[in-house]
């Protein structure tokens, strides 16, 4: 068998094994290691027997094909299930909460340190800065941090 044919077969076998690793049984397993070793072996064999030009060609083909496999993987059905998306679904902070800063209300439940406060006939989930506040105590909204409403007991 000629060295050129052996290089081509090794390169193709390595790429097939890498494709199986990427698309069929994803993970860092024996199949992927064997595929990588076959591609590397093809590059070394091409360099040693056919010269630097063919070695460089085998290296370029192997690197491009491997990169293409890993580029295509997240676009497959299995890849979409395994790769996280940057988008999150959910709501952001309620813009009406920011208007509560400085408003006064009454604790409906004990705040230890979280509980419920009535502000302008509306029940609002709140927290204190670690203080225990009895139910019925007058409170004032000190800050709103995202969806977190911070209250403090009102000085009488």
Query: Whole-angstrom Cα distance, residue 8 to residue 15?
Result: 11
Which pLDDT band, with edges at 50, 70 and 90, does 54 fall under? confident
Q: Is-above-0.75 flag for pTM? A: no
Query: Whole-angstrom Cα distance, residue 132 to residue 134?
Result: 7
Name the DSSP letter for residue 47: I
Using the structure block, give the residue that is written with the tokens 């630097």. Answer: 52
What is the predicted pLDDT for the residue at 126?
96
């Amino acid at each position: 068998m000629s060295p050129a044919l052996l290089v081509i077969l090794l390169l193709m076998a390595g790429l097939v094994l890498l494709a199986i690793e990427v698309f069929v049984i994803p993970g860092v397993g024996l199949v992927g290691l064997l595929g990588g070793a076959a591609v590397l072996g093809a590059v070394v064999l091409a360099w040693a027997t056919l010269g630097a030009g063919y070695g460089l060609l085998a290296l370029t083909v192997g690197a491009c094909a491997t990169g293409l496999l890993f580029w295509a993987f997240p676009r497959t059905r299995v890849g979409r299930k395994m790769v996280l998306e940057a988008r999150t679904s959910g709501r952001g902070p309620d813009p009406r909460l920011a208007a509560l800063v400085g408003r006064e209300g009454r604790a409906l439940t004990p705040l230890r340190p979280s509980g419920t406060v009535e502000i302008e006939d509306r029940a609002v989930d709140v927290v204190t800065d670690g203080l225990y506040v009895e139910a019925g105590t007058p409170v004032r909204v000190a800050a709103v941090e995202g969806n977190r409403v911070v209250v403090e007991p009102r000085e009488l």
